[in-house]
Amino acid sequence: MVPLDHAFDDNVASIIAGIDVKLLGKVMRSPLLFSPTLLGIPRQAATIQSKLNQSVWNGNIWQKRDSSHNPQQNSFSKMLLWEISNTGFKTQNVIEKTVADLYQTVVSVMLENSRFFASLAVDIMDRNLYERANDCRWWALTATFQQLLAKPVLTSQDQAAITKVLSYINRAYTVYDNLVVFDRNGSIVATSNPAYHGLIGETIAADWARAALNLRDTQEYVVSAFEPSPLYRNKSTYIYAAAIRNDEQTVGGIGIVFDSTPQFSAMLADALPRNADSTAVAGSFTLYVDDKLRVISSTSSEFSIGSEFTLQPELCQLPKGGAAFDIVLYNGNYYAVGARASSGYREYKDAQDSYQNHVTALIFIPLGKAAEINAMMETERQLQHNQFKPATAQAQAQNPDAEEYATFYIGQHWLGLPAAQIIEAIQVNDIKSLPDTSSVLEGMLKHQDNVVPVLNLAKLTGVEIQIPERDKQVIIVQAGPKLPKFGLLVSTLGEIPAIAPDAIESLSSLFATVNIPAEGIAKVMTERGENLLILLSANNLITRISEAAQQLNAQPVNTAVKTSAAYPGSEMLEQAA
């Protein structure tokens, strides 16, 4: 019994500590592991916070235009807005951490499961082969074998008697494809499987046969390498052998040919992870691999017996009894892969056993399709949310001449305009596109009782960004009471810093190749450190809109709305709207 508050302390973190952070982050977004509803919680929390920050951003802008409040009132209200936003951030962080912890817990369970099933697979193998080591020694004590092989010459009746015993044993022990008895010279005198009777009289040239004849103790045994043998249709297998002795003399030997292909396949199939209905998890597969990275058996046709295993070779180099897991990308899918090295069973392959054979069981459990996960993450990356901390009065108090700038982002580019020129930021879905105009003009938008053109800053600056289909972020700008309103299509909203005039470096244009209508730059200290802010010119932006409007082929239509002011091309825009 452990107190609930401490039951899971650091368990998950320690389990996944060695996993590649990028791979872990991708798997934690897998639709195969989590429902769309659960995967959408962090995005929904970020969207709510983004809209809250838009309200806070607008609140600061409206205060800038409201001259009825004194500086102390403005300072208090800004602090209040900051606390509202900060509280939202704290709530969002709690939600994201809670869901992330859940994601990590599920992934860690999958990794632990892979290690468990790998341990199950290798234990099944060790316990099974332990019996094979016992069988060859036990049957070497058969009196019929000892007495007949002690004779100088075997008759056909002697060979038939040995064959009868072998066949009887083989019928009872179906895990063997063949049993073979050979004399003191290594010559085959009998086989249990009629398919191999043609080998009778031939001498076994394999090392394991010579090693068996050199054994001097009935407790000793030898095992062949996992290699092709004529005693197993030239396929790879293990052959367990022991010496047949009579009156303290070796008179021959017995070799038992393990039917490895179906038997190992059955062991691996038994170790596959299962669903609630006992069916194997779709896409999962298991393998046995030796210390030379040769595949002994596999439930996947993509890993043939005898082929080299190169997918995650370090997992096959674990110490005896060692276990590990990892996340790998294979054939476009992410897998939890568990590994466990053979440790033997009882006296079989223990420290005193002369036979040692390093085999690793590997289990691959699918965690999701890479293309599907990458597409989801790319979509989420393109959905930038408003994340910032609004300026407080303390910054202005340090420099009374400092002016607030409303900032925003176009992709990763940080841009801004004087806050006094901003009306508000809105999210819209009804921007009306216009034919025969420059691509920098996104279209027309009805704002209050006016129709205003919307400038696509990404197209104007040549920045490649993904514009969302819904909830487009538009900033409504009016540089002066007699100047027209217009909208700026942006990615996200930024901070509202107060910048002193002497901190701004004036420029007639900035980076002509980027084509940004800038009038200055400033280095601004933010939560993320010092950043370069590009200050735009509202008049230059109006000029760009007018140039785009000149390309419009006007087709007069009735409209109940009016443009905010006359500027070149405004009547064409009004007619199109």
59 in helix, strand or coil? Answer: helix
CATH 3.30.450.20 in the chain, residue ranges: 132-259
Q: Which pLDDT belongs to residue 212? A: 93
The mean-pLDDT minimum among 226-240, 259-273, 449-463 falls in 449-463
Is the whole-model pTM more than 0.75? no
Determine the residue type at 412.
Q
* Mean pLDDT of the region 539-550: 80
The mean-pLDDT minimum among 62-66, 123-127, 153-157, 568-572 falls in 568-572
Token reading at 345: 């069973």
**What is the spatial order of strands in the sheet that 359-369 belongs to?**
295-298, 285-290, 359-369, 333-341, 323-330
- For the stretch 280-338, pLDDT in tens is 888 899 999 998 999 999 999 899 999 999 888 888 888 988 998 888 889 989 898 99
Is the separation of the CB atoms in 355 and 223 below 8 Å?
yes
Token reading at 511: 């980076």
CA 101/CA 9 separation, integer angstroms: 12
CA 353/CA 217 separation, integer angstroms: 13
Question: 20 or 559: which carries more pLDDT confidence?
Answer: 20
* Mean pLDDT of the region 84-105: 80
Q: Is the pLDDT of residue 577 over 60?
A: no
Token reading at 460: 């104007």
The mean-pLDDT minimum among 291-305, 485-499, 512-526 falls in 512-526
Highest mean pLDDT among 288-292, 545-549, 565-569: 288-292
Q: Which pLDDT belongs to residue 515? A: 54
Q: Is the pLDDT of residue 170 over 90?
A: yes
pLDDT bracket for residue 567 (50, 70, 90): very low
- Count other C-beta atoms under 10 Å from residue 400's C-beta: 9
CA 359/CA 362 separation, integer angstroms: 10
The mean-pLDDT minimum among 40-54, 361-375, 393-407 falls in 393-407
Q: Is the pLDDT of residue 508 over 60?
A: no
Counted residue by residue, the chain has a size of 577
Is the domain 391-577 a CATH 3.30.465.10 member? no
pLDDT bracket for residue 66 (50, 70, 90): low
- Which one, of 554, 560, 557, 558, lies nearest residue 570 by Cα? 554
* Mean pLDDT of the region 236-264: 93
Q: Which pLDDT belongs to residue 344? A: 87
Q: Which pLDDT belongs to residue 552? A: 57
Is the separation of the CB atoms in 467 and 455 below 8 Å?
no
Is the separation of the CB atoms in 12 and 104 below 8 Å?
yes
Q: Which pLDDT belongs to residue 171? A: 93
- For the stretch 338-377, pLDDT in tens is 999 998 888 888 888 788 888 999 999 988 888 888 887 7
Question: 98 or 216: which carries more pLDDT confidence?
Answer: 216
- For the stretch 10-20, pLDDT in tens is 566 666 767 77
Kind plus residue range of the DSSP H or E element containing 19: none
Q: Is the pLDDT of residue 123 over 90?
A: yes
Q: Which pLDDT belongs to residue 195? A: 93
What are the C-alpha distances in Å from 1 to residues 4, 6, 55, 360, 538? 9, 11, 49, 35, 68
Q: Which pLDDT belongs to residue 236? A: 94
Q: Which pLDDT belongs to residue 243? A: 94
Q: Which pLDDT belongs to residue 477? A: 92
Question: 561 or 278: which carries more pLDDT confidence?
Answer: 278
* Mean pLDDT of the region 144-154: 92
Q: Which pLDDT belongs to residue 176? A: 95
CA 421/CA 424 separation, integer angstroms: 10
Q: Is the pLDDT of residue 392 over 70?
A: no
Highest mean pLDDT among 31-40, 59-68, 462-471: 31-40
CATH 2.40.50.180 in the chain, residue ranges: 391-577
Q: Which pLDDT belongs to residue 131? A: 92
CA 421/CA 387 separation, integer angstroms: 22
119 in helix, strand or coil? Answer: helix
**Crossing angle of helices 71-139 and 36-65, rounded to 10°:** 160
Q: Which pLDDT belongs to residue 398? A: 59
- Which one, of 463, 457, 460, 452, lies nearest residue 417 by Cα? 457
569 in helix, strand or coil? Answer: coil
Provide the phi-psi class of 481: left if phi over 0, else alpha when psi is between -120 and 50, else beta: alpha
CA 220/CA 141 separation, integer angstroms: 12
Question: 67 or 543: which carries more pLDDT confidence?
Answer: 543
What homologous superfamily is domain 132-259 in, according to CATH?
Answer: PAS domain (3.30.450.20)
**Crossing angle of helices 260-270 and 71-139, rounded to 10°:** 150
Q: Which pLDDT belongs to residue 510? A: 47
CA 185/CA 441 separation, integer angstroms: 95
Q: Is the pLDDT of residue 67 over 80?
A: no
Q: Which pLDDT belongs to residue 554? A: 46
Chain centre distance of CA 250? 59
Q: Which pLDDT belongs to residue 71? A: 59
- Which one, of 379, 381, 383, 385, lies nearest residue 494 by Cα? 385
The mean-pLDDT minimum among 349-363, 398-412, 479-493, 531-545 falls in 398-412
Q: Which pLDDT belongs to residue 561? A: 38
Q: Which pLDDT belongs to residue 268? A: 93
- For the stretch 129-142, pLDDT in tens is 999 999 999 999 99
562 in helix, strand or coil? Answer: strand
Rg over alpha carbons for the chain, rounded to the nearest Å, is 39
Q: Is the pLDDT of residue 395 over 80?
A: no
